[in-house]
Structure 1
């Protein structure tokens, strides 16, 4: 039986959650329909009026927050958290000084020098800010440096923050409040890009891969937020060490690997975007694209460790067929596939006595998301094939195929703050995807695997949870 969310926690519904009837809810990630029993509806009345006060309320709160239908709000802490701030660093004394100066000073700080070429400069910076210093004689990468820190701290909560971050105010203290939940292993803030007013900087502020947006989430593979970076992360040391800590063999993607192992162990990981940490980004396209290439190389070793957790594209059959038919300029086939998708969903809903309003609109959204996902997948991992088709296709089909290339970046530009014009934003996004995809291919060749290249078919369009609340 799942451990209830503790007394004192409140929950807030996710913006995407819809109550179809008083006892029937839709939302979450992945999307599902949840039907509450009479006991579940009574437990919701408790949660709607205030914090968890009963076992039934705690059980429902856990179910809702695990499904992504709602998010936990921890009680206000009664005392300062007992935690240590850890800053791994490799050279960069100026960045380290800036990071340490941003901390509020209420928690002890441990700096781990991961085999820097100039250790004296780092030691001087750490001493000037009252931080303890541990030096590794041989560079082992960020995972190894964090493992060294875990062996040197005594507090059960550890706040990791990278040396190129700025973490002002009580950011770690605010995140530490979430650990009133005994199942929680880690919680991450929103990482906002700090970049200069160059074209690359403006693009990064709008599309940083470290910025996971403004919606809170449970972090788990296959959900809207499948990972969080360790640029800034507060962890429960006992949970992380029990899971095997960071894999020192991974120079990139070690944070994703840890999050997925914590999930597999039954622990919870949360994303809390109401807390912000700044991250200094590359000022040039060369620096930005080189980093994206490095990130891409992590896909292959992650796929070898977690083959069921990583898919570059998830396709639902009927929306996928609709998109394929539209790109092939087969309107009759597209209409048939779209109609079949609608009818299939209607059948599922009626079989479970669920209101069927909005099915056509929801199917249209699924087709749109499939088109955008297929476009980004093609740009990242099959750009030469797409370009070959573009050069040989007729004018009409060329326009349809070009939508795969231009649709995702233009859609992202429209949703962004539009600080950068659409032409430069689109060019940057395409270069970003190509650099990441090149890294994925390089990693696949090095590790002799094709798992990060293979789309996955999701045969069940909607999860229906009729168990309610016990």
Structure 2
């Protein structure tokens, strides 16, 4: 078993709540309530501690695995650039490749994998100009296969996968490599922001700049299915070669990054998203290609459902929250009282299980409230994103569905507009938001129809006895 090294420093994640004088920790994903003992409370007094012995190592490892703690990367040792190889899959786009290789810098080991470009000589010239190894493929195998071809040539302990339309910040890779001081970390990725080569960004670019599918948000996170950050985009990934094996599933042309992350987590590895460092992506600017890419992403849900089952479920609800959502959607006089009664009953049940801590009813009410908000968000996503074809039919025949869809759309736009701090005006943001959902949902349904399976469209109700 690999152990955290002495001196490895961790701190509680910003969203972890400490209550009861340090006797209760609430956080992680899925949400957990922990009751630390006296020794653990002493270590956590300032929300941060270093591994110094067996006990502190065990506590740090447990909190990291639960997503309740995160590494203090500034305190971790650097990794020599000589231990890293960059793998860049590319098909045409020589100007973008030139830009990326320039951002990587000189003196680095780089493998440029040409995935059957129309003009391979130009790609070869760009690679040679930057001192990169050039690996041409005779036929197009897709991003997963191209990355694997490059991975097979890597002799260093760590590999960086960077798509040709990326631009790396100087500290992107050095900062991410700190995470590998944890011997269980297999992958780490930065926040992906927009890169704008011109003055006119356009409304689509400005929407993507605030809410790109590749931007996983401003909070760092442990990555695993059903966490707040459940996957990492392969546009920029740093990996431990030992953990990756042969790499991505080569038969996948979409969602190969999600598949890899979930497979690694299933095998016991840790995967980390570090929002404190960034890489830049050249977002699409034209409406049709942008919608096409969103739909393409959606088609991957079918294959993920085959491989990873309910991890790809469009919503994960407990029985009580599902019942509360159905009551609210019914829009009857009894709807709100019924939902409130379900929430109250759940609070009392939770309180009986949290009696070890102080004020168990207050803590249980807080957890129930969080669960209700999460259920409302997931129900909104079902109506507007994953199930929108059914919603579209429903609004034609039912006033209740029309009211529900309108309320969900308005709430979604306001919440996301405030959360993202976009530079786009709210009207165009609302249009882009709905187009985003419509395109992605269409892709999910297209994949389901092609595969003759609705598995990727079925929510999971947790806590049921089988």
Please tell me the TM-score bracket, short chain as reference: over 0.9
Q: Distance in 2 between matches of 1:352 and 1:382?
A: 36
Q: Distance in 1 between matches of 2:350 and 2:226?
A: 22
Q: Distance in 1 between matches of 2:292 and 2:159?
A: 30
User: Compared with structure 1, are the counterparts of its residues 79 and 263 closer, same or farther at alpha carbon in structure 2 (3 Å cutoff)?
Assistant: closer
Q: Distance in 2 between matches of 1:141 and 1:79?
A: 31
User: Compared with structure 1, are the counterparts of its residues 397 and 251 closer, same or farther at alpha carbon in structure 2 (3 Å cutoff)?
Assistant: closer
Are residues 1:206 and 2:205 paired? no
The aligned counterpart of 1:131 is: 132
Question: 3-state SS of the aligned residue for 1:298?
Answer: helix
Question: 3-state SS of the aligned residue for 2:284?
Answer: coil
Q: Distance in 2 between matches of 1:48 and 1:289?
A: 44
How many residue pairs are counted as aligned between the two chains? 455
Q: Would the aligned equivalents of 1:220 and 1:226 in 2 still touch at CA under 8 Å?
A: yes
Q: Would the aligned equivalents of 2:394 and 2:401 in 1 still touch at CA under 8 Å?
A: no
Deviating more after overlay: 413-422 vs 356-365: 356-365
Q: Would the aligned equivalents of 2:157 and 2:242 in 1 still touch at CA under 8 Å?
A: yes
Unaligned runs of 5+ in 1: 461-470
Q: Distance in 2 between matches of 1:179 and 1:260?
A: 18
Q: Would the aligned equivalents of 1:217 and 1:270 in 2 still touch at CA under 8 Å?
A: yes
Question: 3-state SS of the aligned residue for 2:135?
Answer: strand
Are residues 1:383 and 2:384 paired? no
Question: 3-state SS of the aligned residue for 1:357?
Answer: helix
Q: Would the aligned equivalents of 1:327 and 1:401 in 2 still touch at CA under 8 Å?
A: no
Q: CA deviation at 1:357?
A: 1.4
Deviating more after overlay: 195-204 vs 360-369: 360-369
Q: Would the aligned equivalents of 1:440 and 1:452 in 2 still touch at CA under 8 Å?
A: yes
The aligned counterpart of 2:368 is: 363
CA-to-aligned-CA distance 1:29-82 (integer Å, 9 cap, x gap): 11110111334334435x856421112111111111111111112444255241
TM-score of the two chains, using structure 2 as the length reference: 0.92
The aligned counterpart of 1:145 is: 146
1:15-414, aligned counterparts within 5 Å?
A: 15-21=14-20, 22-44=22-44, 48=47, 50-74=49-73, 75-77=75-77, 80-81=80-81, 82-195=83-196, 197-241=201-245, 244-353=246-355, 354=357, 355-357=360-362, 359-360=364-365, 362-394=367-399, 398-414=402-418
Q: Distance in 2 between matches of 1:401 and 1:275?
A: 37
Question: 3-state SS of the aligned residue for 1:291?
Answer: helix
Unaligned runs of 5+ in 2: none
Q: Distance in 2 between matches of 1:78 and 1:225?
A: 25
Question: 3-state SS of the aligned residue for 2:183?
Answer: coil
User: Compared with structure 1, are the counterparts of its residues 350 and 412 closer, same or farther at alpha carbon in structure 2 (3 Å cutoff)?
Assistant: same
The aligned counterpart of 1:464 is: none
Q: CA deviation at 1:300?
A: 0.6
Question: 3-state SS of the aligned residue for 1:63?
Answer: helix
